[in-house]
């Protein structure tokens, strides 16, 4: 097989959400795994609703998720190609002018309904003579343009859903160009896919209904068609569809909530697959787990709490080098030992700020701690240098001197040293706090 070429084609009319990210990632990982290419295509033919700001925002979201597009294209810069394709379809007799108004079409549909017929366009415009068309245009009507479907069953082997078909005779000839000359999504998408050599169209199953029509257009314009795969959609925890317009789980908001991109990517990809959902640390490893044929057909629920859990688990495995830059940008320069000490206690990376503050001090210790006990403990602090053994050696001496053990022994020390009743292992924190501060915290109120 030649290397696949895939595309992710958002319309920049809002920021992308986790469900869009699923589409982007499934495409990217499918291509990456086979050494293929990923195209980011902005479907911005709707010049009123699309904005450059949304497009730039989507580029940021995609990059944050770890996707590096090989090419970026914008439909708004490619109208010449669409016009040329439309001309070719006209010349083949597959794109025909229609003059019905919306009201007239509605009346036709009502008549069909009264006769229990499906609401399929009757192709009346195909029978118009040149004179009739000229007369309609003289009335001031401008045509919209329909693609003439061949009345046959269109079959494809869906990468996710398996053998699929649609009976084109049950479909209306689709409008490709509106009366104002603007393009609906259908034709530009096919033209771009042909021009860029797209081999696999992987998209949400809300697009299955377009596939029969698009395959016929692909075949008319290029004699062949790419492979199609329609993945299941994500819903929120209560089963409702996600909306870009309503800003549901936007990638921007997850980033602002300090989520790890690989936690988001892992969940977006693995939810609803036969793979156990887990936080996968790298794109390469995630790519190895993607198998379109094993995605579930049922909608998959996206659960924020699950993401929180994955985020924490992922952080707990990250190496210092993976987070160094971001720790620095949080104002933390405490070094590798710090990260290894605290990583098991952060649910979001920004929680590191709290632990950095605990080490730097000052800390506020509860007032009800026994000062005599703490003073005894302070007197027993060994001289530096300290390492991971220090805590055990020191507390053994404190135990011996005070007779305390277990929680009675450890909790007041933790509270005095950190001001918090839980947290990273003290054997790791103590050397980071150091003798001077530890002594201070044990002895000064
Ligand atoms: N712009 C379309 C969408 O956002 C692309 C559909 C496709 O991938 O063909 O749904």
Q: Residue 308, Cα to own-chain centre: how many angstroms?
A: 15
pTM of the model: 0.90
pLDDT over threshold 80, residue 332:
yes
Q: Where in 66-197 does DSSP place strands (E)?
A: 71-74, 95-98, 144-147, 153-158, 162-167, 175-177
- Measured CA to CA, the distance from residue 28 to residue 69 in angstroms comes to 8
Atom of ligand 1 nearest to the CA of 214: 9
CATH architecture of the domain formed by 80-177: Alpha-Beta Complex (3.90)
Which residue is listed with tokens 């509860």? 366
Average pLDDT over residues 441-445: 83
Fold match, 1-75+185-317 / 80-177: no
pLDDT at position 167: 96
Q: Residue 99, Cα to own-chain centre: how many angstroms?
A: 42
Average pLDDT over residues 398-403: 96
Question: Please, which pLDDT band fits residue 237 given cuts at 50, 70 and 90?
Answer: confident
Neighbours of 368 (CB within 10 A): 7
Which residue is listed with tokens 């605290």? 342
Atom of ligand 1 nearest to the CA of 203: 8
* Cα 85 to middle of ligand 1, angstroms: 19
Q: What is the pLDDT of residues 59-108, one digit of tens each?
A: 999 999 999 999 999 999 999 999 999 999 999 999 999 999 999 999 99
Within 6 A (CB) of ligand 1 lie 9-11, 43, 185, 189, 201, 203, 207
Neighbours of 337 (CB within 10 A): 15
pLDDT at position 416: 97
Are the CB atoms for 65 and 24 separated by under 8 Å?
A: yes
Nearest residue CA, atom 4 of ligand 1? Answer: 10
Q: Which of 384, 380, 369, 348 is nearest to 417 (CA)?
A: 369
| Mean pLDDT, the chain, integer | 95
pLDDT at position 442: 96
Q: Does domain 1-75+185-317 have CATH number 3.40.50.620?
A: yes
pLDDT over threshold 70, residue 348:
yes
pLDDT over threshold 80, residue 274:
no
pLDDT at position 236: 87
Atom of ligand 1 nearest to the CA of 10: 4
- Measured CA to CA, the distance from residue 97 to residue 175 in angstroms comes to 10
pLDDT over threshold 70, residue 247:
no
Domain residue limits, the chain: 1-75+185-317, 80-177, 320-360, 371-443
Atom of ligand 1 nearest to the CA of 8: 8
* Cα 267 to middle of ligand 1, angstroms: 22
- Measured CA to CA, the distance from residue 4 to residue 353 in angstroms comes to 44
pLDDT at position 288: 95
166 forms beta bridges with 154
Fold that domain 371-443 belongs to in CATH: Arc Repressor Mutant, subunit A (1.10.10)
């Amino acid at each position: 097989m030649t290397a696949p070429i895939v595309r992710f084609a958002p319309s920049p009319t809002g920021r992308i959400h986790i469900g869009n990210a699923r589409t982007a990632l499934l495409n990217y990982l499918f291509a990456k795994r086979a050494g293929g290419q990923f195209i980011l295509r902005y479907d911005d033919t709707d010049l009123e609703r699309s904005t450059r700001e949304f497009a730039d925002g989507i580029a940021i979201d995609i990059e944050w998720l770890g996707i590096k597009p090989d090419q970026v294209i914008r439909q708004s810069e490619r109208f010449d190609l669409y016009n040329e394709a439309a001309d070719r379809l006209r010349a083949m007799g597959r794109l025909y002018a229609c003059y019905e108004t919306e009201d007239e079409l509605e009346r036709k549909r009502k008549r069909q309904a009264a006769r229990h017929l499906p609401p399929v366009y009757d192709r009346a415009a195909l029978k118009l003579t040149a004179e009739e068309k000229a007369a309609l245009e003289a009335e001031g009507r401008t045509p919209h343009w329909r693609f003439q479907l061949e009345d046959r069953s269109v079959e494809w082997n869906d990468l996710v859903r398996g053998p699929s078909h649609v009976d084109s005779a049950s479909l209306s000839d689709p409008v490709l160009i509106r009366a104002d000359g603007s393009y609906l999504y259908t034709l530009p998408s096919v033209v771009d896919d042909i021009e860029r050599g797209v081999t696999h169209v992987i998209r949400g199953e809300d697009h299955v209904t377009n596939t029969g029509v698009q395959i016929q257009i692909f075949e008319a314009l290029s004699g062949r068609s790419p492979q199609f795969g329609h993945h299941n959609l994500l819903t929120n925890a209560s089963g409702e569809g996600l909306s870009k317009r309503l800003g549901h789980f936007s990638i921007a908001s997850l980033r602002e909530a300090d989520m790890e991109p690989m936690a988001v990517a892992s969940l977006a990809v693995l939810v609803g697959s036969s793979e156990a959902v887990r936080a996968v640390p790298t794109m390469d490893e995630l790519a190895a787990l993607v198998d379109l044929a094993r995605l579930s057909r049922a909608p998959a629920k996206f659960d924020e709490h699950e993401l929180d859990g994955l985020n924490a688990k992922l952080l707990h495995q990250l190496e210092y080098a993976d987070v160094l830059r971001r720790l620095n940008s949080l104002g933390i320069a405490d070094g590798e030992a710090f990260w290894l000490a605290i990583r098991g206690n952060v649910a979001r990376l920004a929680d590191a700020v709290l632990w950095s503050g605990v080490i730097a001090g000052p800390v506020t210790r509860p007032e009800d701690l026994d000062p005599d006990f703490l003073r005894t403990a302070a007197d027993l602090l060994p001289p530096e240098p300290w390492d991971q053994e220090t805590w055990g050696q020191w507390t053994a001496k404190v135990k011996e001197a005070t007779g305390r053990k277990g929680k009675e022994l450890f909790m007041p020390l933790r509270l005095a040293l950190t001001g918090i009743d839980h947290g990273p292992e003290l054997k790791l924190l103590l050397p980071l706090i150091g003798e001077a501060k530890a002594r201070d915290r044990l002895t000064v109120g």
